[in-house]
Structure 1
């Protein structure tokens, strides 16, 4: 039970007194790194995506936001997609965002997602789950129409997209935002922090890879 609850703990001894002494005095080593959203280079745009699911499968939504090299908002979406899994929600966010960029003739695009699983599948490091094969086929087709760089970002640097996805969980219709002023107050606050390069601290009990 102790090993399950405190997987980081190196418990020494088999009797209760030894285990109690070990867990009460042990302090896990903490790892940390600075995470921040960064604007793309001139001539490029960046769009951050996120999917949210309550239940997995459960009520799900996605959000994405497109910004230019000044960090200004070009377009953002928050949409409820009904009952599905978090993987499908994450994938839908990327697919719908790239479709929008293709339609608007964006030439160079950086896509950031905090789902390492989805990023590795798109990069063909990991296999595509059979239930999502059709979505990936659509995504690969859209990615041939535009110069796309896809990369992983920690959740702390993906806060605006995360906020949009959660905003849509209880929404009955798709929400779109075409300017900073149209965002709700919390969205504007997050965007100001990201645009100002205010960092977030990521702390874990396991080593953080960047």
Structure 2
């Protein structure tokens, strides 16, 4: 699988068709024209300086976050990338579960030196390839990297991005599922994938597929399985 994916990534160049059938719950993206970049930055800095006392300060509020199983007949892929420094040593991981929250499969891979965003995109690419191989026709993809999720849906050619091949692979593979959703989740809802990615960064295994639940993930996995929530502080106005 690893070699097949690498082969595909070397070949892709063009953006996907505009009518691709996959979607995301994170749909709002703001992109400034490249020619106005410096002017926009300066005006933004001036506005921030002049108006910083004109807006109410955001308050910190505790919210509860947990992993949620997909609906009946769907599978959920949680992915995460680990980077020791940015850039630094990269690793990636993903976990596939069914609508009962049962383990279906998982993977991890060391990636060498790179950025955290590249690790996140690699995790999504490898995860959807594994899900496709396992015939998961209806798939929810969750990543705690909002930047990675948005890159899959921004309207520009992949050739302009340093990870363009990974982005194009994801864009061209997602429509192969009968139904698919790509969503951003908070870290507390992605803890099993996070733990697996961190383990991969400290492991000597270049590539590993987990057909059964590994022992070091048991406590995290069963916490998700029974619906344990984790507290997180969020800013609210």
Asked whether the two chains share a fold, i.e. TM above 0.5, the reply is: yes
Q: Which runs of 4+ in 1 moved over 3 A?
A: 125-129
- Whether 1:104 aligns to 2:137 is no
The answer to whether residue 185 in structure 2 is matched with residue 153 in structure 1 is yes
Alignment of 1:104-183 (within 5 A): 104-124=134-154, 130-146=161-177, 147-173=179-205, 174-180=207-213, 183=214
Specify every segment of 5 or more residues in structure 2 that has no aligned partner in the other structure, as ranges.
1-52
Please say if residues 76 and 141 of structure 2, whose CA atoms lie closer than 8 Å, have aligned partners that are also in contact. yes
Q: How much has 1:126 moved relative to structure 2? A: 8.7
Partner SS for 2:183: strand
C-alpha displacement at 1:125, in angstroms? 7.2
Larger Rg: 1
- Once the two structures are superposed, the pairs formed by residues 9-20 of structure 1 within 5 Å of their partners are none
Q: What SS is found at the alignment partner of 2:162?
A: helix
SS at match of 1:81: strand
TM-score (norm 2): 0.71
Q: How far is the alpha carbon of 1:123 from its aligned partner?
A: 2.7
1:40–1:99 distance in 2 versus 1, CA, 3 Å: same
Q: CA deviation at 1:80?
A: 0.9
Q: How far has the Cα of 1:166 moved from its partner? A: 0.2
Distance in 1 of aligned mates of 2:127 and 2:134:
11
Shift of 1:127: 8.4
Instruction: State the alpha-carbon separation in 1 of the partners of residues 236 and 94 from structure 2.
Output: 29
Q: Please, what TM-score do these two structures have when normalized by structure 1?
A: 0.79
